[in-house]
Structures are given as structure tokens and as C-alpha cells.
Structure 1
Amino acid sequence: MTTVIAIPHAEPHSEAERLHRVRINRLGLWLFFLSDSLLFALFAAARFYMVGTSRPHVDQTLGLAITSLLLLSSLTAYRAETAFEHNNLRHGRAMLLATVVMGLLFLSGVAFEWSEAEFSRKEAYGTAFFSMTGMHAFHVATGVFFLALIWVRSRGGRFLGGAATWPVSGVVMYWHFVDVVWVFFYPALYLVK
């Protein structure tokens, strides 16, 4: 019988080791973005394949409102990241909280849109709409979770300055990625007939 012993992941001992770990993490995140982009591109391609078919009514006002909210949340996420880089814990936490709230409002708007949809999931457009918004909402919810986690864990001054800000930067990069995806999904779902 073999015994397996788990050895805890050692913390890096020097700033050079921390920076090396950040570079590796950043590469991994970019590879994730690349692979996830392919998934989102397939959803968008399926939607554009249907261009010219009838598109049922969607709430343009709500679509624009949730899009504006998501784009504004990118600004607050950026400001949070910048605040942590400049050792401004109070402002960084406030901007993280604002981003979380806007993310939750976006998700509420999507849920409301689903409940009020005048089309079925069985229709071609309905399938595209619910698949695209559902997959995107899952990614937004994931981002909200990690932004909230950073907010909670930052209370003691964690994540301030240098390589210590990587968790904040990584989550904010993910948030920007999710926003960019929506910039492509919004016209595909709400504007293109």
C-alpha cells in the first residue's frame, strides 16, 4: 500500500519568485481567455447564422440599461485595481463593492429579461438568446463571486502594492474579458435582426 502525503504549496520567498509566479498566472489566465473566447465565438456565430430570420421583440431599453451598467462596472473595477496598486485600501474596497453591486444588478436584469421574454427556448432565436445570455450570466456570476471574495479577503490590507496585487489584477482582467464579450453579444442579441 502506498501512502500519499500532501505537501502544502510553499509561499515564494523572494519578490523575484512572486513576480515569476504572477507571470505564470497571467499566462494561464490569457490561455483561459483564448479558450473561452472560442466558446463565445461559437455562440455568436450561431446567432449570426440566423440573421435574416425573424427576431421576436426584445426589451431594447432593458438591454441598453444592463449593457451600460456592465460597461460602467468595468470603470469601477479598473479604479479598484489602481487603488490597490497605489496602496489605497479604502478606495479599492469601495470600488470593488460598487463593481459587485453593478454585477448583481446586471444579473437581475438578465433574470428579469428571461422571465418577461416573449419567445420560447424552443425557437431558434430563443435558443440562441437563452444560451448566449445564460453562458454570459454564468461568467458574470463567477466574476461577482471572485470580486466579492477579494473584497472580503482584502480587509486586513492584503493585496496592496507590487506582486501582492495580482489577485485583484487577475479578477479585474477576467471582469474586463466578460465585459468585452457582452460588447459583442449585445448587438447580436438586441440590435441585429
Structure 2
Amino acid sequence: MSSRNEILKRVRAAQPTLIPMPADLTSTAAGDVHKFTEVLQGIGGRVVLMEPDEEVPQKLKELFPSANRVVSSIRSLEAFFLHDHAQLDHHSLEDVDIAVIEAQFGVAENGAVWVTEQDTIIRVLPFIAEHLVVLLDKASFVADMHQAYQRVAYDAYGFGVFIAGPSKTADIEQSLVLGAHGPKSMTILVRS
């Protein structure tokens, strides 16, 4: 017997006993805004629950009083909407203080939001601004990534990403730095 066959024989003999997969990994629990808030705050983000009569532009002024340039991919935010996004040179977004986008849903277990290219209109938008603000409906939370993957599995999109919290690194002298290679903050505005 060749040494190759001897090795393969030993590997086959040393295999662990197979155990069956759980019947159903998916959760039926609804997403919880409180769990989402707790997790997102733990990774450096924040959640702001908006009152039904509050307007987004006013809330932005309240939360970011010194912001100069605010842009948005949301048409209803007319004052901030990037009307020329199809012809826009992405480098012209380098001085954006706040980018406002809308997410399709939030994941309670990890504080992430699901965003597609249709939500951002420019892929770089959520990553180039100093501060990222994401609008999310209170009814759009899922409990875990199993539910999240079920939701995105059959959608038609060219680009999609889960975003959780501001960018961060601890590579610099073992000290946590927020906003090292992306937004310094991530704020989720939850609408009723």
C-alpha cells in the first residue's frame, strides 16, 4: 500500500461520529428594537427613536448642529437629495459631514442594517461621510441573521451590504479608534 493510501485510510478511520443537523435553525421571534439598540450601542453606534410628528431634517440639526454638508439618497429628503447622482464624481463626496440613507431592515442580534445599491444610489455614500445616519422603520426588525438571510436570499440586487456600527480598529497601539476608515459615527433613526 502506498503512503498516500495509508494516510487516507487513517484519516477515514479517525472521522468523528456524525451528528444530525437541527431540524430548523430559523427563529420565529420578531426583531426587537431594544435588543438592536443594546447591541448597536455596544459596538459604538446609537439609536434614536423618533416621535411620529418629528421631521428628519430637524432631527439632523438637533443631533449634528455643526454639520455643513448633508447629503441623502432618499428622494423625500428633497433638501439633501443627490439629484445629480448619475453623473456625480464620487470624489466630490469627500467633504460630506452626514450621509442619510434608508435601510430595508435591522438585525437585532448584531445591530446590523441591510442596505442595497437602490438604498444608497451611490455605493460609496455610507462609507465616505464623517457620520452615517440610517432611517429604519420600527416594524422592520428581524431577530437574527437566519431571518435576515431568508429575507435577502431571493431579492434582485447588484450590491448589498450589512452595516453594523461606525468603522473601528484597535491596530494602533492596541487602542480602539472609531472612524479609522469610514464614518466616525452611525446613528439609526427609528420611525414609528
State the TM-score, normalized to the length of structure 1.
0.29
State the TM-score, normalized to the length of structure 2.
0.29
Whichever structure has more helix as a proportion of its residues is 1
Whichever structure has more strand as a proportion of its residues is 2
The answer to which structure, 1 or 2, has the higher relative contact order (CA under 8 A, 6+ apart) is: 1
